[in-house]
Amino acid sequence: MINCIAIDDEPLALDLVEDFAAKVPFLLLEQSFSSALDALPLLNSGKIDLMFLDIQMPQITGLQFIKSLDHSPKVIFTTAYAQHAVEGFNVDAVDYLLKPFTFERFLKASNKAQQALTGEQQSVPPSEDYIFVKSGYDMVKVRFADIHYIEGLKDYVKIHTTQKTVIALLTMKSLETSLPTGFLRVHRSYIINFEHLESVGRRNLTVAKQDIPLGDMYREQFMAKLDRN
């Protein structure tokens, strides 16, 4: 889940962000504020991953507010003034929503934020035989020996184990670097545990009774490892 807040001096604009955020499964809107300064205590707690922030506000603009923070969460700017877009991206904003925006556009911006945050996430360093991964609100312990294979989705991975399937907010690339040498990527969307490899076909593998495609660009590396084993 992405913990977020919304800051806008217009009540109707806040209502819209609240309504849209409630429809996005991976967004948890912690609180809404009509003043950026009122949001400081929650931001300073370090619990917020993302801000939906209006630019044109009294007291302090959204751009001034971002520049005043020592450590800022990811930001999606919301404003009725298109001329602020360039300056918004200059402070490393994830996206820029021009009012009035649709839910489709809001979702696209939220997906970009999720991808940016996922790329920054670090798994807990593995011990000798297990790793912790974030699944929903929890950190779940997964033993390497129990993993059959890992399936990559757009923004998540499915870790198929002997006992269960764990859905984790990770990229294949970040997880791949945490795995021991018994694991190998055999397809853009699959990593297998060689200990559970049952058979090898021309274009597919069988792992724990599941057919796994063998990608052409991974074939040479796979065959080399198969020969070594």
The alpha carbon of 191 is separated from its chain's Cα centroid by a whole number of angstroms, namely: 19
Q: Cα torsion at 123, 72, 47, 38 (round to 10°)?
A: -170
pLDDT in the model for residue 146 = 95
* Domain extents in the chain: 2-120, 130-228
Write the DSSP string, 94-154.
SEEEESS--HHHHHHHHHHHHHHHHHH--PBPP-SSEEEEEETTEEEEEEGGGEEEEEE-S
pTM higher than the cut 0.85: no
User: Is there a contact between 48 and 4 (Cβ–Cβ < 8 Å)?
Assistant: yes
Equal fold, 2-120 vs 130-228:
no
The phi and psi torsions of 32 (rounded to 5 degrees) equal -115, 145
**How many Å apart are CA 64 and CA 80, to the nearest integer?**
17
pLDDT in the model for residue 105 = 92
- What single-letter amino acid sits at 46? G
Spans of the chain below 50 pLDDT: 85-86, 88-89, 121-127
The correct CATH number of 2-120 out of 3.40.50.2300, 1.10.760.10, 3.20.20.80, 3.40.50.150 is: 3.40.50.2300
Contacts of residue 74, Cβ cutoff 8 Å, sequence gap at least 6: 49, 50, 51, 94, 113, 116, 117
CATH number for region 130-228: 2.40.50.1020
